[in-house]
Amino acid sequence: MKHKSLIACAALSACVALPSFAEQSLTVVNFGGANANAQKKAFYEPYEKAGNKLVAVEYNGEQAKIKAMVETKKITWDVVEVESPDAARGCDEGLFEKLDYSKIINKADLQPAAVTDCGVGIFVWSTVMAYNGDKLKTAPTSWADFFDTKKIPGKRGMRKGARYNLEFALLADGVKPADVYKVLATKEGADRAFKKLSELKPNIQWWEAGAQAPQFLVAGDVVLTTVYNGRIDAANREGRNLKIYWPGGIYDLDYWAIPRGTPNKDAALKFISYTLQPQQQAAYAQNIAYGPANNKALAKLDKKVLDDLPTSPANAKEALQFSVAFWADQGESLEKRFASWATQ
């Protein structure tokens, strides 16, 4: 009798467990803002319409949270958007699952930089030079112009940090995009970049949050600024007339990664695969000016959208790919040097 009740009990618990298993939803983590809204329209809503359950969560890129989940084996996040340095570091530290591309997409369809062991690129964004088309009569034609306050008088907006600024300083000093990281890796190259930045220092207005750079342009606080290209697109959608100078822009990708040990790994791969289809990638680019990671999406976009994307052939021609390896290697010492330089 006892044996029989056990079976009945096991059957009953299976019955109780079934609905919750069927209802199991995927938790997808993003960086919020305009990017999250674009993902919602292009990825989340159509995915849910197709009968899948999904919860979107925002975070600030805290790897420590992922690390704690993986170490305690209590994983509540299934798919996480990460920036390139974190994708590489998280992979090295064993925080993310190794990806099986046969379950995601044909690698050949993707931008080469989108394919890594533990992260697959979602979109391409760029740090560029921009100006206010209503205020500036002489448009810049080079990075040298950004540093030339005689030719174009006025303040310059720059992100407070070494990243991007050292690359731009070398471009302004005549280094070709293809040689920037080679030069910056030498002591002389780093000295050269800081020397160039020092020339501009009295005219720099620093920004720390991405939203500040377009605000500076609109207010007329600066005449030129470095800025994330998506921020210019967002301002122009609100009726501004901000312009981008594309050559020498530094492009990078955001990636999807799967925290190691998630019980929802198969569902996570299915979702990632869905977001990388040309249709979804094109829909994303129509909602925010970030380039599709899937090259096949470009054919689905009209000229007006393409003109604003970092990956359009015209805009990508003289772009520089952000070097994750370089900044992983030298970032700490250069950021320290920058911090003390900035206070001098």
Q: DSSP assignment of 278-324, as one string? A: HHHHHHHHHHSS-EESBGGGGGGS-HHHHTT-TTSHHHHTT-EE--H
Q: What is the mean pLDDT of the chain?
A: 92
* Whole-number percent of the chain with pLDDT over 90: 86
Whole-angstrom Cα distance, residue 196 to residue 217? 23
- Beta strands (DSSP E) in the chain are 26-30, 54-58, 79-83, 119-132, 156-159, 204-207, 224-228, 242-257, 291-292, 320-321
Check if 23-124+253-316 and 126-250+318-343 are the same fold. Answer: yes
CATH topology (fold) of 126-250+318-343: D-Maltodextrin-Binding Protein; domain 2 (3.40.190)
Structure tokens of 310? 């970092």
pLDDT score recorded for residue 20: 40
Report CA-CA distances (Å) from 264 to 32, 44, 101, 236, 267. Answer: 23, 17, 17, 39, 5
- Residue 2, pLDDT > 60, answer no
Q: Give the pLDDT of residue 34.
A: 83
Taking phi over 0 as left and psi of -120 to 50 as alpha, with beta for the rest, 174 belongs to left
- Tokens 């359950």 belong to residue: 53
pTM of the model: 0.85
What's the pLDDT at 210?
87
The helix/strand/coil state of 207 is strand
How much is the average pLDDT of 28-39? 92
Cα 2–chain centre separation: 59
Average pLDDT in the 286-314 region? 94
Q: What is the mean pLDDT of residues 276-296?
A: 97
Per-domain boundaries in the chain: 23-124+253-316, 126-250+318-343
Distance CA 267, CA 18 (A): 17
- Domain 23-124+253-316 in this protein, CATH class: alpha beta
pLDDT of amino acid 7: 42
- Summarised one tens digit per residue, pLDDT across range 38-82 is 999 999 999 999 999 999 999 988 899 999 999 999 999 999 999
**Cα separation, 129 vs 263, whole angstroms:** 44
* Residue range 82-133, pLDDT digits in tens: 999 999 999 999 999 999 999 999 999 999 999 999 999 999 999 999 999 9
Q: Which of 23-37, 71-85, 153-167 bottoms out in mean pLDDT, i.e. has the lowest?
A: 23-37
Q: What is the mean pLDDT of residues 204-233?
A: 95
